Structure 1
Amino acid sequence: MFRTRLVSTVLVAVAPLLSGCVGDEPTVALLVAGGTDPGSRAVDVEHFTDRVEATCDECTVTVYDAEGDAAAQKSQARQAEASSADVIVVVPVDPDDLETVTSRELPVVSLGELVPGSDRFVGLEGGDVPDQAGSDLEAARDVLLGEEESMTYVPSRAMSEQAADVAVAFLAGNPVPDGEELDGVESWLYEEQDVTVDTLTSVLVAQDVVTLDALCSGATEKRCTRLGLR
């Protein structure tokens, strides 16, 4: 049985298909929706790859960015399979569009939204990933300034790490415990959080989503001081 440690990470945008094989190492293909697709909020690519690195010495992670293009993602799924990926983790642009793309032998883990035919799923209890303009930091600063009453925090780090654990478990042939069944698929569901000005620090700062310095700099500095955040 292999141990865990990341060998390489490759970012593949909407580009010509790769030729040949990615190598002899066990390979995780991470397909991200990219662009402005709401589903992109479900994945933290850095933490996904870091988690694989912490649990798989011999694994290679290849990241495909569809840039919000469902047709491109379909091609990338076929590309990943042709390039000898051992497991696919997908943040779908259009879940239904990917149902018949890969063979039954290649494990597929859905992240964010459930792709029909997936072997495992990591998502939200509330269903679809909510849309949000800008980053969590930008949304938090809007709430702090009173431009928005609240924002919805999606625990992308925890979801990404869980998806990485599931993918590595497939590679190692080990089960991942504590899943629950959703539409016949073993799943791990997380709760999104409604964040207001009163819970910005207890949720976002406490969970290292944003720093207090970043939240309270520039235009928001006086507001933070008034609210006793600094």
Structure 2
Amino acid sequence: MLRARLLTLVLVAVAPLVSGCGGDEPTVALLVADGSDSSSRAVDVEGFTDRVEATCDECRVRVYDAQGDADTQKSQARQAEADSADVVVVVPVDADDLGTLTGSDLPVVSLGELVPASDRFVGLQGGRLPTQAGTDLDAARDVLRGEEESMTYVPTRAMSEQAADVAVSFLAGDPLAGAEDVDGVESWLFRDQEVTIDSLTSVLVGQGVLTIDDLCSGATEKRCARLGLR
């Protein structure tokens, strides 16, 4: 197992990744289902990349975008292996169609949806990600305007950072605490949250998902003023 030097990182509810490792630029391949889909909440590519680079000073992340095509993703999985990736994190287009990926010796971490026979999984306690039209900001504005009673917030960045920690733990050869068993796979599960107009600011603004300026600009400015949000 490649050993790259790790920077010290103290994690909440998981063991710190403090073990050193050595080698030349260990590579994490991030296979994204569709990077252009603004409604997708399975992965925060920037958050994932930043976390890997913060916890492994010699590691690099290589992103493969399937653009919603399952055959393209299978091809990219083979390409990641050919490009000498050391671990793959995959947001699947079709989870049941990635047998060629999990059939190799390459460690596989599923993100968002469990790929059968993967080595690790990061997802939601309820299973699949809930669908949502548009971004969290779009959904929050719909709730603010009264067009929707609620929205479901998925902690995408936290899940992405956890997946990054799991990938780095493979590179370091160190176990990562806090996992539970899902269909025989070590898993880290998060909660989604139902957000109403009464909890928009406490959940979304309070957790840094968006700002009051994001929420209360343009067409929603007067509505925010009436509700005392500005």
Q: Alpha carbon RMSD of aligned pairs, Å? A: 1.6
Q: Which runs of 4+ in 1 moved over 6 A?
A: none
Rounded Cα–Cα distance in structure 1 between residues aligned with 2:221 and 2:42: 30
Rounded Cα–Cα distance in structure 2 between residues aligned with 1:218 and 1:26: 45
Alignment of 1:158 onto 2:165: no
Work out whether residues 4 and 52 of structure 1, in 8 Å CA contact, stay in contact via their aligned partners in 2: no
Alignment of 1:2 onto 2:1: no
Question: Shift of the alpha carbon at 1:102?
Answer: 4.4
Alignment of 1:169 onto 2:164: no
Work out whether residues 31 and 90 of structure 2, in 8 Å CA contact, stay in contact via their aligned partners in 1: yes
Work out whether residues 33 and 91 of structure 1, in 8 Å CA contact, stay in contact via their aligned partners in 2: yes
Rounded Cα–Cα distance in structure 2 between residues aligned with 1:65 and 1:104: 20
Q: Percent same amino acid among aligned pairs?
A: 75
5 Å-filtered alignment, 1:54-133, equals 54-133=54-133
Question: Shift of the alpha carbon at 1:37?
Answer: 8.9
Calculate the TM-score normalised by the size of structure 2. 0.88
Work out whether residues 77 and 102 of structure 1, in 8 Å CA contact, stay in contact via their aligned partners in 2: no
Question: Shift of the alpha carbon at 1:173?
Answer: 0.4
The aligned residue for residue 147 of structure 1 is 147
Q: Which consecutive unaligned segments of at least 5 residues does structure 1 have? A: 6-22
**Tell me, what secondary structure is at the counterpart of 2:101?**
coil
**Tell me, what secondary structure is at the counterpart of 1:220?**
helix
Encode CA deviations 1:100-153: one digit per residue, 9 max, x unaligned: 334442100000000001000000011111111111111101110011111111
Q: Match of 1:48, as an amino acid?
A: F
Encode CA deviations 1:58-92: one digit per residue, 9 max, x unaligned: 10100111111111111110100111000000000
The aligned residue for residue 135 of structure 1 is 135
Q: Match of 1:2, as an amino acid?
A: A
Work out whether residues 95 and 115 of structure 1, in 8 Å CA contact, stay in contact via their aligned partners in 2: yes
